Amino acid sequence: MKSRASQRAHTAGVLHTVQESLAWARSAGATISSQRAITMPEGYQIGEAFARERLAAGWHRVGWKLGFTNQSQWAMLGLDQPFHSPVYSETLAADRIDFDGLVQPRIEPEIVLGLAHDLEQGSELDAIAAAVAWVAVGLEVVHCHFEGWKMSPAEAVADAGLHAALAIGPRRKVPPDEVRGLSAYECDLLCNGKPVSRGRGRDVLGGPLEALGWLLRGLPSGLPGGEIITTGTLSRAEPVLRGQRWTHRALQPRVLGAVELLFS
């Protein structure tokens, strides 16, 4: 049997290898092979190290993204919970994004929530709904440095949560009861004006409010006012090509409007 010291050394070596491989892939705009050699806590450890590098370089975290929130996919992926990763002011997009620098990009329609004031860990859903300052439709661009998007959930977390960019539509102030009602939200995802897929709020952990509640249970320091949380994809992630214009269009409630993103 391996001693504890040798096991720790082995683990440290594996983490270093994954971390260095991902650093190379990011700098080269390339992909690497999945080794499926790390656990979910180790994936967070690698992701947090990369986040510290970005903060040290002057980046500013503005919120969180949730991933793997569609529970119908958990058994296939070997999951029992979603994950969270940082969103930065530097990854917020307007109406277009440079295709160069993206690796195997895909796009996801999401509901984005903005907080009016602080929330403590474990806050009840009614308190969370009352703290939501605004709701918006969003488009998250995800990309992956593992060949063919073949990776473990832990590797997805290590790869910066697959987050590349977030476009946020009109920010609508809504009362708490309508925040709770986002589980009934429906939308279309369109490419160049043609519908590609239909998204539903209930597929995100039962609803965007419930997804935010899950995030709060895992953050010991809670969430400060002003945070932006994108609550996970409402439909499947779709691959994108240069020159395409993608639209997330609200169907119910229509008041949330639409957001578009051009890949130039």
List the alpha helices (DSSP H) in the chain. 4-28, 40-56, 74-77, 125-131, 153-158, 176-180, 208-217
pTM: 0.94
pLDDT of 241 reads 98
What spatial distance separates the first Cα and last Cα of the chain, rounded to whole Å?
55
Q: What's the rounded Cα separation, in Å, for the pair 95 and 79?
A: 34
pLDDT of 95 reads 94
pLDDT of 9 reads 58
pLDDT of 79 reads 79
Tally of domains within the chain: 1
For the chain, residues with pLDDT lower than 70 are 1-11
CATH label of the domain that carries residue 210: 3.90.850.10
pLDDT tens-digit map of 159-198: 999 999 999 999 999 999 999 999 999 999 999 999 999 9
**Phi, psi values for residue 221, rounded to 5°:** -90, 0
Q: How many CB atoms lie within 10 A of CB 223?
A: 22
3-class SS string, 39-55: CHHHHHHHHHHHHHHHH
pLDDT of 77 reads 73
pLDDT of 6 reads 54
**Domain that residue 90 falls in:** 4-263
pLDDT of 53 reads 97
Are β-strands 228-233 and 96-97 bridged in parallel, bridged antiparallel, or unpaired? unpaired
Amino acid at 242: R
